[in-house]
Chain A
Amino acid sequence: DQQVKQNSPSLSVQEGRISILNCDYTNSMFDYFLWYKKYPAEGPTFLISISSIKDKNEDGRFTVFLNKSAKHLSLHIVPSQPGDSAVYFCAPWGGSNYKLTFGKGTLLTVNP
């Protein structure tokens, strides 16, 4: 029962270009959508979030877009930097159990 799908296991981009990471979900009861970044041998760290009542949230180089009708969100990183190379997890929150549900992650590699 995969409520959160990140269909691209990996993404490779050139430094300075845009990275777009996608996420699809099935549960319309989610209240917030979070993105986490994970480096090897470390725990996930919070990156950016968006409320279900908004369609865009921006924080520096990172922008998250939410399309509720399509149950789709995306994370844009502009410009991409080599230090952005990590696994990115989409993690919606809410519903009846109030828990953070994770996608499988997308490995982003930013090449110098």
Chain B
Amino acid sequence: DTAVSQTPKYLVTQMGNDKSIKCEQNLGHDTMYWYKQDSKKFLKIMFSYNNKELIINETVPNRFSPKSPDKAHLNLHINSLELGDSAVYFCASSHERTTMRVDYGYTFGSGTRLTVV
């Protein structure tokens, strides 16, 4: 019973296309995140949503638009894909934004490897 699930796991697409990555969590968490792991292996936060409200937007190009229809879902839509968007994108969730559950932290999905050609 997957806690944080992302689809698709792999995505290969051409430059200029628009694509979406979906994320769902069944943990009852209030806060969800998108992280990007680039070719240099840094894991950087992109967005944070708390109960459907955007909280953090880390200077991500506006081609990236997160959408949270309810607190269990956080999708990532990317317009006009560029070569530099190739990366692994991780969705995560946490119990609540301003407190840290020290017994499990954030729960991550297994990632979506996006390749733009």
Contact = CB atoms under 8 A, between A and B. Distances in A.
B11 interface: no
B35 to A, nearest CB: 8
Interface residues of B, number: 26
Nearest to A99: B45
A104 B40 contact: yes
Interface in A41-55: 41-46, 49, 51
Interface in B68-117: 90, 92, 97-98, 100, 102-111
Interface residues of A, number: 25
Interface in A25-54: 31-32, 34, 36, 41-46, 49, 51
A110 interface: no
Contacts of B105: 34, 36, 46, 49, 91, 93, 100
B110 A104 contact: no
A104 B108 CA distance: 17
B63 interface: no
A65 B48 CA distance: 29
Contact of A32 (B41, B56, B102, B110): B102
Contact of A98 (B40, B98, B103, B108): B98
Nearest to A57: B102
Contact of A45 (B41, B102, B108): B108
A100 B90 contact: no
A51 B41 contact: no
Contacts of A98: 97-98
Interface of B: 4, 33, 35, 40-45, 48, 56, 90, 92, 97-98, 100, 102-111
Q: 3 closest Cβ contacts across the A-B interface?
A: A43-B108, A102-B43, A46-B105
